[in-house]
């Protein structure tokens, strides 16, 4: 196992081997993150400092290459695992429970991907950290402490996908991922365009154009028909 070293706060960056180029096959990499700023003392006692990591880029071969995120100093301890991450969806931020966090990257011997870029920083143990704002959306609320809730809305023409409200739990983890704002109309246009391309070029869809009908007019009619079908599905 390759030990990629211990990183210290208050903030920094961790990237997979070779990033932004494809990482190596058969890799076993470990990073540990240690908070260095002492916890603050308040009327409620000492507030410990914990680690928050935020993923700027994430691309691992789904199901075969994984990044395990754990809490504390014992790398690989099953009881300290917070998340096992894989695939291409960018994970939400992760907050440790203690003043230490570990990361373990495991890749198989087959095709690799681009890897990841992580930004880490120290935050108060009484906080879940700033989860961010979805693209084409807005957030209501600025309190990230335990028990606080945030509400999300989307801009016009976009629909919310996920939980509208999330709450900061005592484990310093948000109750759900930040929702996404998606545009059904854009998806409709793209899906219809792709359908026409497939219909035009794929061997599976073989069209014989009616006699006297121009090819371009036939494709345009097919595209409009697809749009009308999607529109009916959206509004019925």
H/E stretch holding 168: none
Buried b (16+ CB within 10 A) or exposed e, 169-179: eeebbbeeebb
Cβ–Cβ under 8 Å, residues 46 and 38: no
Residues 3 and 120 in one domain: yes
When divided into structural domains, the chain yields a total of 3
Domain final residue, candidates 125, 153, 172 = 125
Calculate the alpha carbon distances from 216 to 12, 105, 113, 193, 224 in Å. 55, 51, 40, 14, 12
Cβ–Cβ under 8 Å, residues 179 and 189: no
Residues 111 and 133 in one domain: no
**Burial classification of residue 215, based on how many CB atoms lie within 10 Å of its CB (0-12 exposed, 13-18 middle, 19 or more buried):** exposed
Can you tell me the distance from the alpha carbon of 69 to that of 6, in angstroms, rounded to the nearest whole number?
14
Residues 66 and 161 in one domain: no
The model scores a pTM over 0.85: no
Which token pair is 131?
A: 């989860």
- Domain range enclosing 213: 185-235
Cβ–Cβ under 8 Å, residues 99 and 50: yes
Using alpha carbons, select from 162, 168, 164, 142 the residue that is nearest to residue 153.
Answer: 164
How would you write the pLDDT of the chain (236 residues) with one tens digit per residue? 554 789 998 999 999 999 999 999 999 999 999 998 766 544 445 578 899 999 999 999 999 999 999 999 999 999 999 999 999 998 988 999 899 999 999 999 988 899 999 999 999 888 888 888 999 999 999 999 999 999 999 998 899 999 999 999 988 888 988 999 988 655 555 555 555 455 554 444 444 445 554 555 555 565 566 656 655 554 44
Using alpha carbons, select from 19, 108, 109 the residue that is nearest to residue 59.
Answer: 19
**Backbone φ, ψ for residue 104 (5° rounding):** -130, 110
Residues 9 and 98 in one domain: yes
Q: What angle do CA 34, 91, 8 make, to 5 degrees?
A: 15
Residues 102 and 9 in one domain: yes
Residues 42 and 78 in one domain: yes
Residues 111 and 4 in one domain: yes
Residues 92 and 196 in one domain: no
Using alpha carbons, select from 66, 118, 122, 57 the residue that is nearest to residue 90.
Answer: 57
């Amino acid at each position: 196992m390759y030990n990629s070293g211990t990183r210290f706060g208050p903030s920094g960056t961790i990237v997979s081997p070779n990033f932004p180029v494809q990482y190596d096959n058969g890799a076993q990499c470990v990073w540990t993150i240690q908070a260095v700023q002492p916890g603050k003392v308040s009327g409620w006692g000492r507030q410990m400092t914990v680690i928050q990591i935020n993923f700027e880029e994430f691309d691992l071969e789904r199901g075969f290459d994984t990044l395990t995120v754990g809490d504390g100093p014992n790398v690989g301890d099953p009881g300290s695992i917070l998340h096992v991450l894989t695939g291409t969806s960018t994970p939400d931020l992760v907050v440790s429970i203690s003043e230490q966090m570990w990361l373990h990257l495991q890749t198989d011997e087959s095709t690799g991907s681009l890897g990841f870029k992580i930004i880490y920083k120290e935050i108060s143990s009484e906080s879940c950290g700033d989860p961010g704002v979805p693209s084409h959306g807005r957030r209501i609320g600025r309190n990230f402490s335990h028990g606080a809730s945030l509400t999300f809305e989307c801009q016009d023409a976009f629909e919310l996908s996920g939980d509208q409200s999330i709450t900061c739990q005592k484990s310093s983890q948000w109750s759900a991922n930040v929702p996404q704002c998606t545009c059904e109309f854009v998806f409709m246009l793209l899906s219809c365009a792709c359908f026409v391309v497939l219909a035009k070029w794929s061997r599976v869809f073989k069209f014989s154009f009616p006699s006297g009908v121009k090819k371009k007019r036939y494709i345009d009619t097919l595209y409009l028909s697809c749009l009308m079908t999607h529109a009916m599905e959206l509004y019925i």
